[in-house]
Amino acid sequence: MALYSEKVMDHFRNPRNVGVIEDADGVGEVGNAVCGDIMKIYLKIQDDVVADVKFETFGCGSAIASSSMATELIKGKPLSDALKLTNQAVTEALDGLPAHKLHCSVLAEEAIRAAVKDYYDKNGIPYDPAQFPDCGHCEGCST
C-alpha cells in the first residue's frame, strides 16, 4: 500500500487556493518552525459565508495537502460550517494520512478556527470562547 493516497498527492502537486487575500476579513496562523509546519489561512467573508479562502503553508506534502483540502471544504460555506470542520473530515476527504502526519490535518482545522476568531474579533462579533480552545500542540502557536 502506498504511504500517501492519490488525493493527498494531487492536493500536494496541485494545491488549490494558494496565495494571500490582501484585504482578508480574517487571518489565522498556527504552528511554528520547531514543529516544522506553519499554516496561514486567509478568509473573505460575505453575508456570513466564506466567499474566498487562500492559504500559505510552509511544511511537508501532508501539510500542503491538508491546507488545500481544508480550503476546498469550507469555500462557499457558512461560517458555522467552517467552524464545524474537523481534522478527521480533512483526513477522510484526503482518503487518509499516515498516523505520523495526522498533526497536519489538526493544524488545518486550527488555522481555520484562528481565522474565524480573528474575523469575529475584528468585527466585534460575540462568540463562545469555548469554540476556540488553545491547541496545545506547538509551543508558540498563535491560537
Angstrom CA distances, 130 to 37, 43, 44, 133, stand at 25, 21, 23, 6
Catalytic residue chosen out of the listed positions 104, 135, 138, 141 = 104
Look up 135 and say whether it is catalytic.
Answer: no
Largest Cα span, the chain? 49
DSSP letter at 18 equals B
Check residue 3 and report its DSSP letter. S
Q: Tell me, what DSSP letter sits at residue 6?
A: H
138 among known catalytic residues: no
Q: Active-site positions?
A: 35, 104
